[in-house]
Amino acid sequence: MRMRGLERSLPGFTIVELLLGLAIAGTLAAIAVPTSLRTLDDFRTRSAARYLASRLGDARLRSIKRGYAIGLRFQAGADDYLVTTVADGNGNGLRTTEILRGIDRALTESETIGSHFAGVAFGILDEVPDADGQPANGTDGVRVGVSRVLSMGPDGTSSSGTLYVHGQGRAQYAVRVLGATGRVRVLKYDQLQRRWIDQ
C-alpha cells in the first residue's frame, strides 16, 4: 500500500540556482573587498597619526613636569624615518650635535612608524597640498626644520612643524604642532572635498 505525499520530490536547489547564487556572492565580494581594504588603510593611517600626536603630547607633559626639553627626533633611515624620543641633558635645549654625542639622551629605541602600523610611512601623496593649502613642494613627510627635531619646552611651548603620514592607498593624514601653545592637531586630507579637515 502506498501513502500519498511520499512521491513528491524533496525540496532543493537546481544547478542553475546554485550557479546564480555563487555569481551574486562573487559580485558582492568583488565590490566589498576594495572598500574593506580602503577602510583598513584609512584606519591604520589615522591610528599612526594619533600615535604620533600622543607621543608628542606625552613629551610635552613630561617636559613640563620635569623642567627640561623633551621631543621627537626624526632620522632618515633606509626605507623611512626613524623616530626616537630624546631629552635635553644639559639645560640648553635639544641639539642634534648633543644627541649624537650622547649629551641629549635617547629615552626610547629608534623605530619606524611602519613597525607599529603596517603599510604606513611618512610622506605626502601626489596631488595632495600641504596642510596650509599650498602646493606640497616635494613628498617629504617630516617638515620640522633642518634639525629634524620637534622639541617640547618646560614652559609649554614647542618648536613648530607638520608630520605627514600616508597609507598604501590614498589615506593621508597630518600631525601639526603649533609652537606658541605646543598644541597638537590631527588632520585628514579629504580626497572628495580636496581639503584638510580636523579629526
HEC-encoded secondary structure of the chain: CCCCCCCCCCCCCCHHHHHHHHHHHHHHHHHHHHHHHHHHHHHHHHHHHHHHHHHHHHHHHHHHHHCCCEEEEEEECCCCEEEEEEECCCCCCCCHHHHHHCCCEECCCCECHHHCCCCCEECCCCCCCCCCCCCCCCCCCEECCCCCEEEECCCCCECCEEEEEECCCCCEEEEEEECCCCEEEEEEEECCCCEEEEC
Question: Under 8 Å CB-to-CB from 99, ≥6 apart: which residues?
Answer: 73, 86, 106, 149
Predicted TM-score (pTM) of this structure: 0.81
Question: Under 8 Å CB-to-CB from 175, ≥6 apart: which residues?
Answer: 49, 52, 53, 56, 162, 163, 165, 184, 185, 186, 187
Is the pLDDT at 137 greater than 80? The verdict is: yes
Q: Which of these, 143, 159, 144, 151, lies nearest to 86 by C-alpha position?
A: 151
**How far is it, in rounded angstroms, from Cα 28 to Cα 20?**
12
pLDDT at 29: 66
pLDDT band at 102; cut points 50, 70, 90: very high
**How far is it, in rounded angstroms, from Cα 8 to Cα 37?**
48
pLDDT at 25: 76
| Residue spans per domain, the chain | 15-62+117-198
Q: What is the pLDDT of residues 16-51, one digit of tens each?
A: 777 777 777 777 766 665 666 688 999 999 999 999
The cell numbers describing 2, all together, are: 502506498
pLDDT at 135: 86
**How far is it, in rounded angstroms, from Cα 66 to Cα 83?**
22
The angle formed by the CA atoms of residues 164, 51 and 130, to the nearest 5 degrees, is: 15
Q: What is the pLDDT of residues 146-192, one digit of tens each?
A: 899 999 999 999 999 999 999 998 999 999 999 888 999 999 999 89
